[in-house]
Amino acid sequence: MTLNYAIGFDLQKSETIESIFRDYKIDQIHVHQFDCIPAIFPACVSEKKPYVAFVHTGIEGIYNWFEEQYFDYKGMFSVFFEMASKIVCITEKAMEENKRKYNIPDDKYIIINNSIKFSEDIIKNDKIPNTISNFLILGRMGEEKRISIINAINIFKEYLLRHPEARLTIVGDGSIKDDIIKEVQNIKEKVTFLGTRTDVFNILLQNDIVIGLDRCILETIVSKRIAIVSGYSEIKGMVTPENINDFAKENFSGKELASRSIEYVVNEIEKLDLEKIKQITEQNYRFAYDNLNLDRNIYIFEGNSDEYKLEVEKYLQLENYLTNRMTKLKNEKDSIFDEKVSIYKEKESIYNEMQKQREGYEQQIKNIKQETDDKINNFNIKIGQLQEELNKYKDLYEVEKLENEKIGTKIRRKIYKTYRSVLNSFNKTDKK
């Protein structure tokens, strides 16, 4: 490999991919996942192979998220999409965001809705539900699906109140599984968790109705089952022949469609009889077969030799361009790092200053407390001294009081004795 840059790219994997290109004489590449770009993109450049970039996600802000989480994607995305022979998006909204973000001409885009392979088992299946009793929630239990799964559980709970014989199966695993188990704790005897499974088609056939979004709704439709889109935030309702085209435009996420209440959805389910179930499932299946069939929705670059030559020639000057671009990004990255270091040092200085102030305040508080404690101790000592003096005066008072009482008693006795003497004198005079 001749490329002399490595910022953000996985050159070790890229060399392995280059070998595959040469060994199997591959002349065009389809790149489906952003995680593949660091390895596949440099291999395409080195081997001068045209590639088609696929944008499967319709999550708004996904590019900003990648660039914030992984700095190297900031430059990688821009060059990757700019150099692509074609950009295939699953929805118009996904196309508009990519176009707006990277300023790429309209003629480079094509919209192909998320499609599915119609296997022989799918085509031969002619079983449809007779009634609605067995509910299925199918999909990865990630944080972004939390509201969707809870919406689905709440729909089942409402239906269960009216139809106690109903049951719910939940297939999938993920970071919020424990929370989902708690959500169904009060109806746990009606719920079965199957974890991660690969026999999805067989599980779909064992159920009557599926509540979810995105890919699992398409799988439900081709399995000829009733599908309810639970939405990323609000419930969107049942997929029917009247609205399936609108749902398909947004990859069955329900975005841009009207929201439905739980009661509305359950009422719609209750209206389903055998004839209605057959009508909905058969017509939905036909729409998917005609419009979302993977065999008919594969994009192949079919340019003539001159067009192909142009596709190859655009790589010839790319190495220097990318080297300069990556050097610029590295300098920007280093500058940001230096800025972060500076901010960190400034914060550390502020923290140290605040720590010193805190220690000073703590010492002041300690001094004030000690001073206050000393004053209280001195005050208590003075109170003790005053109490001792008071006790002395009290003792003197008691002694004086006792002395006074003794003197008073002597005086009273003397007075009494004098009184008796005078009285006796009067008595003697009266007798004479």
Q: What is the pLDDT of residue 190?
A: 96
Identify whether 103 is part of a domain.
yes
Residues 107 and 144 in one domain: no
* Residue 167 included in any domain: yes
Based on the domain organization, do 165 and 98 belong to the same domain? no
For residue 185, the model assigns a pLDDT of: 95
Are the C-beta atoms of 137 and 170 separated by less than 8 Å?
A: yes
Q: Residue 191: beta bridge partners?
A: 168
Asked if 147 and 283 sit in the same domain, the reply is yes
Q: What's the pLDDT score for residue 4?
A: 37
pLDDT in the model for residue 99:
92
Does any domain span residue 166? yes
Q: Tell me, rounded to whole angstroms, the distance of Cα 247 from its chain centroid.
A: 25
d(CA 17, CA 126): 43
Q: State whether 281 and 138 are in the same domain.
A: yes
Q: Are 291 and 306 part of one and the same domain?
A: no
Q: What is the pLDDT along the chain (432 residues), one digit of tens a residue?
A: 344 334 567 878 888 999 999 999 998 899 988 888 988 988 888 888 888 999 987 677 888 888 888 877 877 888 889 888 899 998 888 899 999 999 999 999 999 888 898 888 888 888 899 999 999 999 889 998 999 999 999 999 999 999 999 999 999 999 999 999 999 999 999 999 999 999 999 999 999 999 999 999 999 999 999 999 999 999 999 999 999 999 998 889 998 899 999 999 999 999 999 999 999 999 999 999 999 998 888 888 766 545 545 555 555 555 555 666 666 666 776 787 788 888 888 888 888 888 888 888 888 888 888 888 888 888 888 888 878 877 877 777 777 777 777 777 777 777 777 767 777 776 666 555
End-to-end CA distance of the chain: give it in Å, rounded: 164
Residue 66 within any structural domain of the chain = yes
The pLDDT of residue 338 is 81
Nearest to 330 by CA among 81, 77, 75: 75
Q: So what's the pLDDT on residue 280?
A: 97
**125/219 Cα distance (integer angstroms):** 13
Q: Decide if 406 is inside a domain.
A: no
Domain termination site, one of 284, 316, 348: 316
Give 405's Cβ-side CA count (13 Å radius): 6
What residue type is 395 in one-letter code?
D
Whether 141 contacts 174, CB under 8 Å:
yes
> Do the strands 86-89 and 167-171 form a parallel or antiparallel pair, or are they unpaired?
unpaired
pLDDT for residue 373: 85
Only one residue has tokens 């419930």, namely 235
Shared domain check, 249 and 230? yes
Whether 247 contacts 257, CB under 8 Å: yes
What's the confidence (pLDDT) of residue 308? 47
Given 282, 316, 350, which residue is the final one in a domain? 316
Residues 278 and 142 in one domain: yes
Residue 312 shares a structural domain with residue 182: no
Distance of alpha carbon 358 from alpha carbon 102, whole angstroms: 50
* Structural domain containing residue 107: 11-112+299-316
Q: Are residues 157 and 45 in the same domain?
A: no
Residues 202 and 127 in one domain: yes
Token look-up 């045209």 returns 50
If one counts the domains in the chain, the total is 2
| CATH code where residue 201 lies | 3.40.50.2000
Q: Are residues 94 and 128 in the same domain?
A: no
**Domain C-terminal end among 241, 262, 295:** 295
Dist. CA 112–CA 88, nearest whole Å: 7
Residue 67 forms part of a structural domain: yes
| Residue 399 domain flag | no
Question: What is the reported pLDDT for 243?
Answer: 96
40 vs 55: CA distance, rounded Å = 15
Residue 176 sits in the same domain as residue 249: yes
Residue 424: inside a domain: no
Alpha carbon 283 to its chain's center? 37
